[in-house]
Amino acid sequence: MHILVPATSTKDWQKLLRDPVKQWRHGYSAKSLADHWQDEKGFPADVQRIFTSASVPGIRDAEMLLGVPEAGTKLPGGGYDSQTDLFVLAKSSDGLITITVEGKVNESFDQIVEKWLHKDDRVDNRMARLEGLCGILGINVSDAMGLRYQLLHRTASALIEAENYSATTGIMLVHSFSSDKKWYEDYEAFGTALGVSVEYGQLVDVGVRSGRRLMLGWLTSPVKEESDSRE
């Protein structure tokens, strides 16, 4: 059983980072995400808007139940968990929704899969994980080779958690704070591999994967001024 202690400030988010000093800087993704979400009572207003405008009517009334910064999800093939910047559990008229939120500013979505697969001598272990992730997402391993690895495991995490919570829908939401849409082309390529054309600022219905509805979303918000952040 996981015992969760509520965050009273963004400093509680900082303590959970793998490198609480290096990763916690103004204008970087970890702090930008915490500043944007921490003091809200439910979804931030711009996040709520992408739900109310969603193409799937049953999630337009989505309501946030809880959020867990730096939440780990066990992945197929063993090894490290997928460490989600913010895991959100929500409810709607269609049922529960699990959301893996990936904060981004200038950071990439990790390595291209083919490079990640061969970065050391543990190719067999990585291939077992890759096959598991592709099975969850419903794509061929060959089609994943040119994609960014983080997009695969973060999206699969949304579906894994949907199964864990008996949710009807899993959503992978990129919450970007980059005004020039940095790395958006990698997100587009990922959508294409899943058989959809993604839309900037919208949730896109991918269809049923691993028994749950899967959706992808990209949202861009401004970085809050340093004086506005809650310490």
- Three-state SS annotation for the chain: CCCCCCCCCHHHHHCCCCCCCCCCCCCCHHHHHHHHHCCCCCCCHHHHHHHHCCCCHHHCCCEEEEEEEEEEECCCCCCCCEEEEEEEEEEECCEEEEEEEEEECCCCCCCEHHHHHCCCCCHHHHHHHHHHHHHHHCCCHHHHCCCEHHHHHHHHHHHHHHHHCCCCEEEEEEEECCCCCCCHHHHHHHHHHCCCCCCCCCEEEEEEECCEEEEEEEEECCCCCHHHCCC
With cut-offs at 50, 70 and 90, classify the pLDDT of residue 1: very low
Residue 204 in any domain: the answer is yes
Residue 166 in any domain: the answer is yes
Calpha distance 31→13 (Å, rounded): 8
Instruction: Determine the pLDDT at residue 230.
Output: 44
Residue 202 in any domain: the answer is yes
Instruction: Determine the pLDDT at residue 94.
Output: 96
Residues 6+ apart with CB under 8 A from 93: 58, 59, 61
Instruction: Determine the pLDDT at residue 228.
Output: 44
Calpha distance 84→99 (Å, rounded): 10
Residue 21 in any domain: the answer is yes
The model's pTM = 0.94
Q: What mean pLDDT do residues 12-25 have?
A: 90
Q: How many domains does the chain have?
A: 1
Closest of 34, 94, 33 to residue 63, by C-alpha: 94
Token readout for 32 is 């930008």
Instruction: Pick 70 or 231 by higher pLDDT.
Output: 70
Tell me phi and psi for residue 115, to 5 degrees. -75, -40
Residue-number span of the structural domain to which 203 is assigned: 10-228
What is the pLDDT of the chain when averaged over all its residues?
93
Residue 5 in any domain: the answer is no
Calpha distance 76→171 (Å, rounded): 19
Residue 4 in any domain: the answer is no
Instruction: Determine the pLDDT at residue 11.
Output: 92
